[in-house]
Amino acid sequence: MKVIIVKDAQEGGKKAFKVFQKALKNGTNVFGLATGSTPLTTYVQLAASDLDFSESISINLDEYIGLQAADPQSYHAYMQKNLFRFKKFKHSFLPNGAAKDVQAEIKRYDQLLVKYPVGLQLLGIGQNGHIGFNEPGSSFTEKTHKVALTESTIQANSRFFDNVVDVPRFAFSMGIGSILQAKQILLEAYGPKKAAAVVAMIQGPLSEACPASALQQHPNVIVIADVAAAAKLKY
Ligand code: GLP
């Protein structure tokens, strides 16, 4: 893993932008996208740039189950608000959190990932080391699946909702096996709450206890972390 340490999320977003710019220039046309607060500075850079994604595909990692796309808390709404209204992709895909048939939705997403292999996958990391919504204990070979969120993730994500009881308990997520298929992976981590997850991901054992440690198996990973998130790394 290549680790780039930056001052803060602003500087990190600028570095991440450069990775997108280079990938696009080199012919990458399928971008795996993420939500949460972490990629926001990257999306600000992408939105303000003249990069042209009109011939590119975007595929998001995950979506809450039980929310309509139009729900302001959905990841559909997040992507629209933070990126897609500024940058149009040829096609943008997210799991359908309102799908009636869960198994059919999982199959649809896996087929999309076969049709559009991800060239560059953007990731954040949860405080417990989750990537996408793959919580500790997830198999490293799993494809798209339905996930029961852990209590710690529900608590962490409750800051985006009026009340913790409004946070959905389930989500669709690409699996770790799906994520590892990407040609290149870019993970961003900012703030002291991510420090334990960052050291476990990079210098801890390869273990399902830290889902992000699976990235140690991937040949082309860039981690951009700010000083606070990188504070526990030992050199
Ligand atoms: C959420 C998302 C992840 C994200 C993580 C960290 O649960 N499903 O994709 O990386 O939590 O969120 P944040 O960036 O807001 O800290």
pLDDT tens digits, 114-132 = 999 999 999 999 999 999 9
Ligand 1 within 6 A of CB of 188: no
Residues designated as active site: 62, 128, 130, 135
Kindly state the average pLDDT of the residues 194-200. 98
Q: How far is the CA of 62 from the centre of ligand 1 (A)?
A: 10
Q: How far is the CA of 80 from the centre of ligand 1 (A)?
A: 17
- For ligand 1, atom 6: residue with the closest CA: 126
User: Which ligand 1 atom is at minimum distance from the Cα of 173?
Assistant: 8
- Burial (CB < 10 A; 0-12, 13-18, 19+), residue 217, is exposed
- Beta carbons within 8 Å of 50's beta carbon, 6+ residues apart: none
- For ligand 1, atom 12: residue with the closest CA: 36
Kindly state the average pLDDT of the residues 203-214. 98
Q: How far is the CA of 200 from the centre of ligand 1 (A)?
A: 17
What average pLDDT does the chain have? Answer: 97
Ligand 1 within 6 A of CB of 132: yes
Distance, in Å, from the CA atom of 57 to the CA atom of 117, rounded to the nearest integer, reads 10
- For ligand 1, atom 9: residue with the closest CA: 132
Does pLDDT of 9 surpass 80?
A: yes
User: What are the beta bridge partners of residue 221?
Assistant: 185
Does pLDDT of 181 surpass 90?
A: yes
Distance, in Å, from the CA atom of 82 to the CA atom of 42, rounded to the nearest integer, reads 10
- Which tens digit of pLDDT belongs to each residue from 10-24? 999 999 999 999 999
User: Which ligand 1 atom is at minimum distance from the Cα of 149?
Assistant: 7
Ligand 1 within 6 A of CB of 95: no
Ligand 1 within 6 A of CB of 134: no
Q: How far is the CA of 36 from the centre of ligand 1 (A)?
A: 4
% pLDDT > 90, the chain: 97
- Which tens digit of pLDDT belongs to each residue from 38-72? 999 999 999 999 999 999 999 999 999 999 999 99
213: left (phi over 0), alpha (psi -120 to 50) or beta: alpha
- Which tens digit of pLDDT belongs to each residue from 148-162? 999 988 998 999 899
Per-residue pLDDT, 165: 94
Per-residue pLDDT, 120: 98
- Which tens digit of pLDDT belongs to each residue from 71-103? 999 999 999 999 999 999 999 999 999 999 999
What is the pLDDT confidence band of residue 147, given thresholds at 50, 70 and 90? very high
Per-residue pLDDT, 235: 77
Q: How far is the CA of 133 from the centre of ligand 1 (A)?
A: 8
Per-residue pLDDT, 205: 98
Does pLDDT of 229 surpass 80?
A: yes
Ligand 1 within 6 A of CB of 128: no
The answer to whether the beta carbons of residues 235 and 229 sit under 8 Å apart is: no
Q: Which two tokens stand for residue 235?
A: 């050199």
% pLDDT > 70, the chain: 100
Distance, in Å, from the CA atom of 127 to the CA atom of 71, rounded to the nearest integer, reads 25
Q: Which of 37, 38, 144, 151 to mutate to test the pocket of ligand 1 (most atoms within 8 A of CB)?
A: 38
